[in-house]
Amino acid sequence: MATNEAMKPVNLVIFGRQGSGKGTQCAMITTELGSIHISTGDMLRAAVEQGTEFGLQAKAIMDRGELVSDEVISGIVAERLAQSDVTQNGFLLDGYPRTLTQAESFVGILNDLGLTLDLALNLDVPIDEVTTRMLSRGRADDTEEAIARRLDLYEKETAPLFEFFLDQGVFEVIDGLGSESEVFDRLNTVISAVISGKSQ
């Protein structure tokens, strides 16, 4: 991916079931682009670590595999996107939006900040494969029940957003099966096409 000082910031959203390898790919993409990885899951886990009252409430919700309220999460994202490191370097938003209400708020947030979304990527890994991966990684919130609930919520609440971004002409599906570098190459190809389109 050709990056240079003059390059305009690239603003991306990435979708993918839990266990799709999204976190790893996000790190690789933001290293390449010099953009900011914003993971709402990581932000919530940081709040849990800090032991604030909000953190405690979020922990209970996350442990059950449910979703934090749309209003709260959109507020957190709006605050983060407004910061200058993000407006200057671009963002890769991971874990948000997750519901149609959030997607609508997201459009409003971008408008308010004068930002444009370049691409929404869907890192596609089948349900069977992500379930096997999650059960083997042994994270505390990865009980079989919570995994099933999260995957179910993803199909019901988040997958319908693909249509939303498709309608905006900024949606691409990437096959998430294969080695880390194979998957990265696929993502890189699609993102590079968008970058070359922007610089014309």
Query: Least distance (Å) from ligand AMP to the CB of residue 197?
Result: 28
- Let me know the angle formed at the C-alpha of 161 by 156 and 162, rounded to the nearest 5 degrees: 110
Residue of 15, 96, 154, 165 that binds ligand AMP (CB under 6 A): 96
- DSSP labels for 71-140? HHHHHHHHHHHTSHHHHHH-EEEES---SHHHHHHHHHHHHHHT----EEEEEE--HHHHHHHHHHH--T
Q: Convert 95-126 to b/e letters by CB count within 10 Å (16 or more is b).
A: bbbbbeebbebbeebeeeeebebbbbbbbebe
Residue of 12, 36, 38, 44 that binds ligand AMP (CB under 6 A): 44
Active-site amino acid positions: 22, 98, 137, 139, 150
Residue of 16, 21, 95, 176 that binds ligand AMP (CB under 6 A): 95
The reply on whether position 18 binds ligand AMP by CB under 6 A is: yes
Two tokens, residue 38: 């914003």
Give me the phi and psi of 113, to 5 degrees please: -90, -5
The reply on whether position 41 binds ligand AMP by CB under 6 A is: yes
The reply on whether position 121 binds ligand AMP by CB under 6 A is: no
Residue nearest ligand AMP (C-beta atom): 41
The reply on whether position 37 binds ligand AMP by CB under 6 A is: no
Cis peptide before 97 (omega within 30 of 0): yes
> Among the candidate windows 8-16, 40-48, 116-124, 189-197, which touches ligand AMP by CB under 6 A?
40-48
The reply on whether position 34 binds ligand AMP by CB under 6 A is: no
Query: Least distance (Å) from ligand AMP to the CB of residue 42?
Result: 7
List residues near ligand AMP by CB under 6 A: 18, 40-41, 44, 61-62, 65-68, 73, 95-96, 98, 102, 150
